[in-house]
Structure 1
Amino acid sequence: MSANDCGSGGGAQTYTGLRIASIFIILGTSMFGALFPVVARRVPWLRVHIPSTMFLIAKYFGSGVIVATAFIHLLDPALQELSSPCLSPAWQEYPYALAISLGSIFGIFVIEIFAFRWGTEVLRKAGVGAPQGHMHDIDGGRGQEIEKIQGDAESGLENSSLGIEETDSQESAIGRILGVMILEFGVLLHSVLIGLTLAVDPDFKILFVVIIFHQMFEGLGVGSRLAYMELPRKYAMVPIIGACLYGITTPIGIAAGLGVRTTYNPNSTTASIVSGVMDAFSSGILIYTGLVELMAHEFVFNKKMIEGPTKNLVLALGLMMLGVGLMALLGKWA
């Protein structure tokens, strides 16, 4: 890497007009990906005219996108950034990116445990039952919820929620909101960094096209999780707020990058450390969310997947693998 690349000079000055336009183009595609599943499940006309199968495709495809994002789009860049030759030799002596990601996984794990303990105590004092799980409450081994899903275990894909039971119980809202907040936090950090990179990267055209698809696919992943949050009426706006937050973060990152591109060099020492640490931390969040919240609770602990029709399981797995494969492929360019 040349000394110029490691310096504090600015990013690329080319394609200024298109970079500005990218703020609005990516805002539109990100908003569409995240908001469409949420709105489509809430608007009666759309629910009637859009087959339920489409929601499930987005849901499981999106789960795969999130898992691939954790490893290909976050952990790998973090390893490269924190082992950059621009950094001091001390950074080369230990796999800091992996250590930060590991710490993030256990940090989120501990936070969830104590958050549920606190929530349980608060609800107990209020005379309400304990929180019943994570953001989608699909653990097939949880009390009365088993009875609720056993009735449709044999129904086909079009007539089944594949483990997403309807409930508006107050006690489960805390778990759902906590789970989706963890997911959102990891994705939002990643989205801001993507925007900063797009604003200053000299290979703008290729990166721009890839990020359009990247943000739309990732938006579908986040939006499908938000869409299936069954919350009490008082929390009805949470999914919409979450989708909008996702939609605006990358455009904010692009705008910020354009504002500082005369001085901001993404390959500088400071930029490499900051982005590497943030990518590593975000990767831990999404690894935990993807493996525990999405894969384990969607499949291993989901009674419908264990005892229901094999075709539903195969289709859900296939959709998730498709999401993983496409998002991993995009990692070749971004």
Structure 2
Amino acid sequence: MVFGDCTCEYEDTKHNKETALKYKLGSIASILVAGVVGVSLPLLGKKIPILRPKNDIFFMIKAFAAGVILATGFIHILPDAFDNLTSRCLKENPWGNFPFIGFVAMLSAIGTLMVDSLATGGYQRSNIKSKQVK
């Protein structure tokens, strides 16, 4: 798969591509709808006070969304990564000597949570500064 001279035979007989296409299109539509809802929450906060970004419920919704994104990555992407990066077509060094899949997954999760924490902290600091100015 990775090298042109690899003689590994791979035949995908356990997947129905037509059914998978239906599920993919449905998941794209549901992701778009959920994204529109997520983006409109702060905008709806002007009319509905509980959805304002300064409330705790907003941060709970945001934390839940971050967890859903991480879980989606771990459930859908991680198994394929394990299958592909443990292929016997890959050289033993370095792929077989170090668990790159788990390492990258751990770094990605930590990085995602760090970005979320920094963004939340920055938003809260800007809120505090704007209240002090008034």
TM-score, normalised on structure 1?
0.26
Q: Following the alignment from structure 2 to structure 1, what is the Cα–Cα distance between the partners of residues 22 and 31? A: 14
Does 2:112 correspond to 1:289? yes
Deviation per CA, 1:260-315: give whole Å up to 9, x if none.
xxxxxxxxxxxxxxxxxxxx6xx64443131x22246647xx67xxxxxxxxxxxx
How many residues are aligned here? 110
Partner of 1:231: none
What's the counterpart of residue 43 of structure 2? 42
The answer (yes or no) to whether the contact 1:37–1:55 under 8 Å persists in 2 is: no
Map 1:268-283 → 2, pairs under 5 A? none
Q: How far apart, CA to CA, are the structure 2 residues paired with 1:40 and 1:89? A: 49
Closer, same or farther in 2 for the Cα pair 1:50/1:87, shift >3 Å? farther
Alignment partner of 1:93 is 2:106? no
Shift of residue 29, structure 1, vs aligned partner: 0.8
Aligned partner letter, 2:43: R
- 5 Å-filtered alignment, 1:217-228, equals none
CA gap of 1:296–1:67, structure 2 versus 1, over 3 A, is: farther
Which AA in structure 1 matches 2:22? A
Share of identical aligned residues, percent?
19
In the TM superposition, what whole-angstrom CA distance separates every residue of 1:204-229 from its partner, at most 9, and x where no partner exists? xxxxxxxxxxxxxxxxxxxxxxxxxx
Relative to 1, partners in 2 of residues 1:96 and 1:11: Cα closer, same or farther, differing over 3 Å?
same
C-alpha change, 1:15 and 1:25, in structure 2 (3 Å) is same
Structure number with the bigger relative contact order (C-alpha 8 A, sep ≥ 6) is 1
| Alignment CA distance shift 1:30-1:11 (3 Å) | farther
Q: Which amino acid aligns with 2:32?
A: M
1:36 Cα offset (Å): 0.7
Tell me the secondary structure at the aligned position of residue 9 of structure 1: coil
Q: Distance in 2 between matches of 1:12 and 1:84?
A: 18
For residues 23 and 98 of structure 1, the distance between their equivalents in structure 2, rounded to whole angstroms, comes to: 26
Q: Could you tell me whether the CA contact under 8 Å between 1:67 and 1:287 is conserved in 2?
A: no
Aligned to 1:24: 25
Counterpart of 2:5? Answer: none
8 Å contact 1:66–1:286 — kept in the other structure?
no
Secondary structure of 1:64's match? helix
Q: CA 1:293–1:35 in 2, change beyond 3 Å: closer, same or farther?
A: same
Which one-letter code corresponds to 2:35 in the other structure?
A
Deviation for aligned residue 1:92 = 1.6
Once the two structures are TM-superposed, the CA of residue 50 in structure 1 deviates from its matched residue by 7.7
**Equivalences for residues 127-276 of structure 1 within 5 A:** none
Task: Give the letter aligned to residue 115 of structure 2.
Answer: E
Offset at residue 15 of structure 1 (A): 6.7
Query: 1:257 — aligned with what?
Result: none
1:82 touches 1:97 (CA, 8 Å); kept in 2? Answer: yes
C-alpha root-mean-square deviation of aligned residues, in Å?
3.9
Which has the larger share of helix?
A: 1
Amino acid across the alignment from 1:36: V
Structure 1 Cα separation of the partners of residues 60 and 17 of structure 2: 36
Instruction: Return the TM-score normalized by structure 2.
Output: 0.52
